[in-house]
Every structure is written in structure tokens, then in C-alpha cells.
Amino acid sequence: MTTLIGISGSLRKASFNTALLQAAIPLAPVNVTFVAGTIEGIPLYNADIEREGVPEPVQRLKDQIASADGVLLFTPEYNNSLPGVFKNAIDWVSSSMTGAPNVFAGRAFAIAGTSPGPFGTLLGQNAWLPVLRTLGADLWSGKRLMLPKAGSLFDGDGKLTDEDARARLKTFVEAFAAYVKRKTAA
């Protein structure tokens, strides 16, 4: 069984990226378990707090990533870059101050995202590249998923109603899952 974890980089209740993650989960192929992680409850990174003990929401996310074969980041774009709250969460998980192993090294990562603007998180996704490279992640670049005009893709309940977007999301998830399967079988 292949396990994927998806993480949305938004704390907003009506987040388009969280809605995209939720839409992606049932599109996983058979024999693939796809679960959602969350950055909810993660405090601002502070080495003093870490020294006293890794906060529970950080440890939970770290354990989820460690137990997954592949990780999908659903990133919003802020000011043509990545959102601080998402980077903060990844910084927490990546910190090796307490001697914990690097859960990013060699693990398959994919990046996707949606925004109300015309470029669908193009620059937000690009901003993740040096971060993931620094962490030694195995960045999958087999396909790209940048969905623009998010406001017209979802209904009022956050359901992905745009058929083209749904088809692209399915292709993306299936291709990443196939990559992760091949990698873990090797």
C-alpha cells in the first residue's frame, strides 16, 4: 500500500487550496491511501519553544510526513511567493535542533496550488523549489498543477465543480502516485 499525505498551506476555513486538497483525496488510485495533514495549531517558530519540547501539532505533522511515501503541498501564493504560515510549518518540521531525523531527505514531494489570480500560484510554487532542494527532498516534476481563477472552480461549499480542473487534478494525483509507487517498489 502506498501512502500519500497532502498539506494545505492555508489556515482559512474557506481556503481554495484546502478545498483542492479535499477534492484530490478521493481521486487517489486504488491501493493508495491519501490523507490530509494540517498546519493548524503550529506556533511561530521559536528555538526557545523547541528546546522546551516540540509542539504537538508539529510532531503530528512530522510523524505523518515520516510515515508517508509521498507528500503533496497545496500552496497558496502570497506576494508572488510562498505564504509565511506554510513556510513556518515546514521550518518547524525541518528543524534538526532536537536531533530528530530529516523527514524530507529523499522523500517524494509534489507541489500544486490554486489562486483567484490569472497564474494559479506559478510564482508561489517556484518559491518552494529552493526550500525543497535545501531539505534534500525528491521533488517530482513530472507534471504541474497551477489552477487560476479559483473563484470560478469551486461552489459555495468548497466542492471542485469545474470538470476540466477536476480532470487535471486527477491526472496529477495519479501520475504522482504512480511515481511514488515505482520509487517505493524499486
Nearer to ligand FNR, 36 or 49 (CB): 36
Q: Give 3-state DSSP helix, strand, coil % of the chain, rounded to 5.
A: 40, 20, 40
Nearest distance from C-beta of residue 147 to ligand FNR, angstroms: 11
CB nearer to ligand FNR: give 14 or 105: 14
Smallest distance from ligand FNR to CB 74, Å: 8
Q: Is 5 within 8 Å of 62 (Cβ atoms)?
A: no
**Residue 143 CB-density burial (10 A; 0-12 exposed, 13-18 middle, 19+ buried):** middle
The residue among 37 and 76 lying less far from ligand FNR, judged by its C-beta, is 76
Q: Are the beta carbons of 83 and 75 closer than 8 angstroms?
A: yes
For ligand FNR, the closer CB: 101 or 156:
156
C-beta of 6 vs 76, nearer to ligand FNR = 76
| Cβ 5 vs Cβ 60: under 8 Å | no
The CB-of-15 to ligand FNR minimum distance in angstroms stands at 3
| Residue nearest ligand FNR (C-beta atom) | 117
Between CA 84 and CA 18 the distance in angstroms is 16
Q: Which residues bind ligand FNR (CB under 6 A)?
A: 10, 12, 15-17, 76-80, 115-117
Whole-number minimum distance, CB 142 to ligand FNR, in Å?
Answer: 23
SS3 assignment, position 146 = strand
Residue 89 · residue 61 · CB < 8 Å: yes
What is the nearest approach in angstroms of ligand FNR to the Cβ of residue 162? 15
